Amino acid sequence: MKKPGRLTGLLGLALIVIGVVPLAQVIIYRVVPAPITILMIERMFEGKGLRHDWRPITQISPHLVESVIAAEDSGFCDHHGFDFEAMQKAAEANARHPGKIRGGSTISQQTAKNVFLWPGRDYVRKGLEAGYTVLIETFWGKRRIMEMYLNAVEWGPGVYGAEAASQAYFHVPANRLTTDQASRLAAILPSPLKWKAVRPGRYVARRSARIGARAALVREDDLAACVVE
């Protein structure tokens, strides 16, 4: 007779953990810089090292904000965490070319994954990613989401965040990145272990030029207004 009650208690405890732990993490990281991520730990075990220097958004060049919006999520300031049109287009493209996976994630979704979760495409992780995305959109707001994204994203073997990437590739702090340097950093985001921001190949050079042109439009149309003051 006691087993159903015990089972109910365990289920209740599991629900509390599932609900409370993510909320507590999000509330804490609203004001505290995110510590080392799961991806960083995995890469360290792979022998890639760790270079990660947190910088507040005020110490990161607006050119980089504009470039990553241009490259990754042009509707960042307008959506509430999900771009369903982009997701549909990505699904259609992946169906046509199954060997070449195209992502439809927003910067908010990528931030949720990078800060709280592990790499991969399994359904459990995607479900958790959606939940965290709703939470950070609710409790952080766009400026904090971008700040976290630019500090956690992988930019090369053992290189994480805007400051580490700026110093590693261009030997300047993140607040002094030029428009060209920013577009080159944004250009390698889809494949940072393969593509190079310095002396890039032809494809990455063309991609960087396109991002630079789009970043100018982002600036002109105030598409980064929710981040850049």
pLDDT of residue 195: 97
Cα 18 from Cα 125, distance rounded (Å)? 13
Read off the pTM.
Answer: 0.89
State both tokens at 198. 């310095």
Query: pLDDT of 55-98, one tens digit each?
Result: 999 999 999 999 999 999 999 999 999 998 877 776 666 656 56
State both tokens at 226. 């929710």
pLDDT of residue 87: 72
State both tokens at 28. 């804490």
* Domains of the chain with bracketed CATH: 19-220 (1.10.3810.10)
Q: Is the pLDDT of residue 101 over 60?
A: no
Query: pLDDT of 8-45, one tens digit each?
Result: 666 666 666 677 889 999 999 999 998 899 999 999 99
Query: pLDDT of 163-213, one tens digit each?
Result: 999 999 999 999 999 999 999 999 999 999 999 999 999 999 999 999 999
Give the list of residues 6+ apart from residue 4 with CB closer than 8 angstroms, or none: none
pLDDT of residue 76: 97
Confidence at 2, pLDDT banded by 50, 70, 90: very low
| 76 DSSP 8-state letter | T
Q: Mutual orientation of helices 62-72 and 179-187 as an angle, nearest 10°?
A: 40
Phi, then psi, of 81 in degrees rounded to 5: 115, -25
Helices of type H across 30-117: 38-45, 62-72, 84-96, 107-116
Q: Is the pLDDT of residue 116 over 70?
A: yes
